[in-house]
Structure 1
């Protein structure tokens, strides 16, 4: 960026977010952020359920225990890296499942993956 004088440069420096590069902008959906481009993710809203309550609600609706959900995830993914303890951490909001487990949760709980992704984004914002 080219400045007309030193005062303009100092003013710009004061208005920049601390620790952020001069080209950083706010993510879509935050106050003062630019609108989401066409085809981009929808802005985050407060009516999206966080992932911990979504997983717990869907698991209980299907009559599954945490053990049963963990076993289902293991059999679907052929990955023994999830246990009842990990499911419990997701439901307590201690951890947010990453994209890999979100995909398998989507299949196990019969919920659209977009809904799980939105719930995970919401959960990360609330943590």
Structure 2
């Protein structure tokens, strides 16, 4: 997820602030911030199903791709190296 998400964001010409604003606009959820996007991109957190749904819409990618990226990120947390 930490490699996939920033790549998708950049392909759409978005900054982390832009992505947070887009997510807020489509979801109506005020809790999303640039800091949360940064945490996802640094691998500190993995976006849950709720945010993966909105990310797929904003970044025009399939939910399946985001699910796979999240699964890889979870695996790496449990089996680093």
Q: How many residues align?
A: 77
Q: Residue by residue, what CA displacement relative to the aligned partner does 1:69-120 show, whole Å, maximum 9, x if unpaired?
A: 0000000000011100000000000000000000000000000000000100
Answer 1 or 2: which has greater helix percent.
Answer: 2
Q: In angstroms, what is the RMSD of aligned CA positions?
A: 0.5
Distance 2:50 2:35 in 1: 17
Give every structure 1 segment of 4 or more consecutive aligned residues whose post-TM-superposition deviation is greater than 3 Å. none
Q: Which aligned pairs between 1:9-88 and structure 2 lie closer than 5 A? A: 51-88=1-38
- Which of 33, 42, 56 is 1:106 aligned to? 56
Question: What is the CA distance between 1:52 and its match in structure 2?
Answer: 1.4
Distance 1:121 1:69 in 2: 22
Distance 1:75 1:89 in 2: 20
- Which of 60, 85, 91 is 2:41 aligned to? 91
Q: Residue by residue, what CA displacement relative to the aligned partner does 1:29-78 show, whole Å, maximum 9, x if unpaired?
A: xxxxxxxxxxxxxxxxxxxxxx1111100001111000000000000000
